[in-house]
């Protein structure tokens, strides 16, 4: 994950650690801080302990928080400067599937600092919505996919969420109600805060005829705004 304003990135790995890196131009990279998602009890051998392999990380738009999710379904929020744990999110009973993607909602006129909501997608086939302004309380769950969540993203006004799943579905949701928008065409002209899904109106051109659903596994849409007010959109896959 890339910090919204500072030259930093956050990574998570199979060793169960979260790391914060400085990536200043011309100076390479250096580790600023590290934290373990799950502490291993001394009585349990390392070889048999689930270290909580990190599978998703995301910065708050204001840059003060960093959220991370594990293969065991755990989600925690850390101080983005020190990686001190702020809160362990309360997950619904039985929610132990792999956390595949998570993102904070963007800045809006109502929330200038951004990040009112944190969306957490998992292999439980759902997306849980947490209210960061209310102590990361669970406020809704997007249910409707028949396979695991692969990608998710926000509209610029933070009122709509898109999701991709393992069976190549593209669904849309109202926020914070978590109600599914039944007609996908209703979201054709929504202004998105980037697009990291592999399926959608924004990525139609990256799929060539006869391609398999696994041929494109990651995408990122960037909107380049010129000084004249024009926009150019570029998709990297």
Per-residue confidence band for 45, with pLDDT thresholds at 50, 70 and 90: very low
Alpha carbon distance 150, 123 (integer Å): 8
What is the band of 203 on the pLDDT scale with cuts at 50, 70, 90?
A: confident
> Which single residue is written with the structure tokens 């744990």?
85
pLDDT of residue 164: 95
Average pLDDT in the chain: 85
Q: How confident is the model at residue 49 (pLDDT cuts 50, 70, 90)?
A: very low
φ/ψ of 56, rounded to 5, equals: -155, 140
Across 17-26, 89-98, 127-136, 181-190, least confident range: 17-26
CA angle 164/167/168 to nearest 5° reads: 45
pLDDT at 65 over 80: yes
| Mean pLDDT within 79-95 | 92
- pLDDT at position 51 over 80: no
**Banded model confidence at residue 39, pLDDT cuts 50, 70, 90:** low
| Strands of the sheet with 126-131, listed across from one edge | 99-104, 117-122, 126-131, 137-143
CA distance 44 to 31: 28
Would you state the pLDDT for residue 144? 96
Mean pLDDT within 97-101? 94
- Using 50, 70 and 90 to split pLDDT, how confident is the model at 7? very high
Is the CB of residue 219 less than 8 Å from the CB of residue 195?
yes
59-84 burial, b for 16+ CB within 10 Å, e for fewer? bbbbbebbbbbbbbbbbbbbebeebe
Q: Residue 235 pLDDT more than 90?
A: no
Q: What is the mean pLDDT of residues 201-214?
A: 76
Higher pLDDT, 47 or 181: 181
The mean pLDDT value for 39-60 works out to 66
- For the ranges 156-160, 167-171, 210-214, the lowest mean pLDDT is seen at 210-214
- Which pLDDT does position 26 carry in this prediction? 64
Q: For residue 112, what pLDDT band results from cuts at 50, 70 and 90?
A: confident
SS3 track for 96-142: CCCEEEEEECCCCCCCCCCCCEEEEEECCCEEEEEEHHHCCEEEEEE
Find out if CATH 3.10.310.10 is the number for domain 8-189: no
């Amino acid at each position: 994950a890339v910090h919204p304003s500072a030259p930093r990135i956050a990574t998570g790995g199979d060793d169960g650690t979260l790391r914060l890196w400085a990536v200043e131009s011309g100076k390479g990279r250096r580790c600023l801080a590290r934290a373990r998602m799950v502490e291993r009890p001394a009585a349990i051998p390392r070889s048999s302990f689930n270290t909580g392999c990190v599978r998703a990380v995301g910065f708050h738009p204001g840059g003060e928080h960093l959220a991370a999710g594990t293969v065991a379904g755990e989600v925690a929020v850390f101080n983005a400067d020190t990686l001190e744990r702020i809160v362990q999110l309360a997950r619904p009973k039985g929610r132990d599937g792999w956390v595949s993607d998570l993102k904070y909602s963007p800045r809006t006129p109502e929330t200038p600092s951004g990040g009112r909501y944190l969306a957490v997608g998992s292999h439980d086939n759902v997306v849980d919505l947490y209210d960061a302004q209310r102590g990361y309380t669970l406020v809704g769950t997007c249910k409707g996919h028949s396979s695991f969540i692969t990608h998710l993203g926000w509209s610029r006004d933070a009122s709509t969420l898109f999701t991709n799943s393992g069976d190549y579905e593209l669904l849309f949701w109202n926020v914070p109600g978590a109600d599914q928008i039944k007609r996908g065409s209703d979201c054709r002209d929504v202004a998105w805060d980037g697009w990291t899904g592999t399926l959608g109106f924004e990525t139609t051109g990256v799929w060539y005829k006869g391609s398999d659903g696994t041929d494109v596994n990651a995408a990122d849409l960037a909107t380049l705004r010129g000084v004249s007010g024009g926009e150019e959109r570029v998709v990297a896959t």
